[in-house]
Amino acid sequence: MKIAIGSDHGGFLLKDEIMKHLKEKNIDFVDFGCFTTESVDYPDIGQAVGEAVARGEYDKGIICCGTGIGISISANKIPGVRAALCGDCFSAKASREHNDANVLALGERVIGPGLAKMIVDTWLNSEFQGGRHGRRVEKIAKIEEKYRRN
Ligand code: RB5
């Protein structure tokens, strides 16, 4: 499994914690930035990680900003991206099992690193259940298709 990970300055420290955690677990990842705590714009990082996942270059993405909101909204603009902002393990599990979420969004100013790491583990270890959930995820793709411009 290969993960694309990214954050703005508001999620930089949480990204760092998560990267250490992934390293400890021998999970492959590539850091899409940012690389310092200097202020950057979260849409740029959400787009970069989202596009890499949508192109199939990475199995999953993890994105962090202050709240997780701006960066998840940005990533979700990319067709094929299903980014789930999670602040608890129940949602993380359901986002994989029901929504086949391929990007996990976290808010550094909302949750602590301990919970964030538990959410990451739960999310990475949960599988899409298909069935009726598959039908619903296909409907999401149809909405994207309806509004796709290029
Ligand atoms: C940056 O200050 C902050 O707005 C950003 O990290 C995020 O919370 C946006 O949704």
- DSSP-derived 3-state class of residue 119: helix
List, for residues 90-138, the tens digit of each pLDDT value. 999 999 999 999 999 999 999 999 999 999 999 999 999 999 999 999 9
pLDDT recorded at residue 149: 84
Measured at the CA of 91, the angle between CA 136 and CA 64, to 5 degrees, comes to 105
What average pLDDT does range 43-72 have in this prediction? 98
**Which residues are catalytically annotated?**
65, 98
pLDDT recorded at residue 101: 99
Domains and CATH numbers, the chain: 2-147 (3.40.1400.10)
- DSSP-derived 3-state class of residue 28: strand
pLDDT recorded at residue 150: 67
Burial class (CB in 10 A: 0-12, 13-18, 19+), 143: exposed
Terminal CA-CA length for the chain: 29
Dihedral sign, CA of 94, 95, 98, 102? Answer: negative
Which atom of ligand 1 is least distant from the CA of 107?
8
Between the CA of 109 and the centroid of ligand 1 the distance, in Å, is 9
pLDDT surpasses 70 at 50: yes
What average pLDDT does range 58-73 have in this prediction? 98
pLDDT surpasses 90 at 67: yes
Between the CA of 110 and the centroid of ligand 1 the distance, in Å, is 11
pLDDT recorded at residue 43: 98
List, for residues 4-49, the tens digit of each pLDDT value. 999 999 999 999 999 999 999 999 999 999 999 999 999 999 999 9
Taking CA atoms, 136 is separated from 5, 21, 142, in Å, by: 27, 33, 10
